[in-house]
Structure 1
């Protein structure tokens, strides 16, 4: 009887050991599969990498398109001006020309590109000597040589043209500028500084020189106002630009 009991006990112990061995194997396989399921494949889903990259690319594409559309619809503006420092009538010796001051005001309001029309041979700083040279050039219908040209002039839609009124006309250097480019299809907007002559007949002269261009009504500001009353000058510029539809 004792032998039978011992045999049965041995059999029971064998079954118990087998059951324990089976449980340990399952736990290892589960613990082994857990790191596999948390590899990049499983981390990709919580991160939503594909959908995030798609959402990010859409705004960047629209941002790339918007500036292009705005640029294609915008008006490119050039502000070309002749201006002379030195001794000037009614304002004495100045460091910045009257017309240059107004040109910069227009540039600030419109965002246009500034271009200073300068001659290879500078005009005398003395006022009387300069007026003598200017008068002789007018009599000769001269075309003084300019220092520089405008790059990509054809890309501009609107050209603000500034100059002082010399002897009831534009300086001859401005005619050199006008005759150097094709103004067909462009809008030309004159502005002048003066001490009593206003724009004189310069608007019609510009229309004749700029064949195929639309010439709008110009602005005339006294040089003494440009130099000594810049708040007043700026107000005139802003009102003029607003009336012409260049600013809101």
Structure 2
């Protein structure tokens, strides 16, 4: 974790159904960090089953979609939260693009995910693999059924990992 007294925090997330966005906003309200939504140039289908099929293929192929949103000042942040839905036991492909496009070396990286029953799976471990020169803290995950009640759990987790 950063030794700064008031570390600058970025909360970067991709959210297909809005669940991950809600957790990102809860983290933001606790940390005063900057929210950054990762948006692919080509949106995923609105239909759940179509998105599942597309994501399954993209993940199997290691596809990294082009992003509509870019962050120019990632170097100015000390702590970077990375949020994603759990898709096929890993992060959504836009997360892989974000991590490939932004060097988080020397930063504290904090993964979080939302899921429909698959738990954290490899989401946090995969972020850690893609950030080998970062300090990766314990991740957080919450089921889509627990999103609305997660505020207390988010706060406990942020205290446990020493961010607040």
TM-score class normalised by the smaller sequence:
over 0.9
The one of the two structures with greater contact order (alpha-carbon pairs below 8 A, sep at least 6) is 2
- TM-score, structure 1 normalization: 0.63
Q: Which has the higher helix share?
A: 1
Q: Which has more radius of gyration?
A: 1
Give yes or no for the alignment of 1:114 onto 2:35: yes
The root-mean-square deviation of aligned C-alpha atoms, in Å, is 1.1
Query: How far did residue 151 of structure 1 move?
Result: 2.3
Give yes or no for the alignment of 1:159 onto 2:87: no
Counterparts of 2:123 and 2:48, CA distance in 1: 22
SS at match of 2:50: helix
Q: Deviations over 1:90-115 (max 9, x none)?
A: xxxxxxx0000000000000000000
1:57-96 matches, within 5 Å, as: 73-85=5-17
Q: Which has the higher strand share?
A: 2
Give yes or no for the alignment of 1:218 onto 2:139: yes
Counterparts of 2:150 and 2:125, CA distance in 1: 24
Structure 1: state its 5+ residue gaps: 1-71, 86-96
Runs of 4+ aligned structure 1 residues displaced above 6 Å come to: none
- TM-score, structure 2 normalization: 0.94
1:186-205 matches, within 5 Å, as: 186-205=107-126
Tell me which of 138, 142, 151 is aligned to 2:63.
Answer: 142
Query: How far did residue 73 of structure 1 move?
Result: 4.2
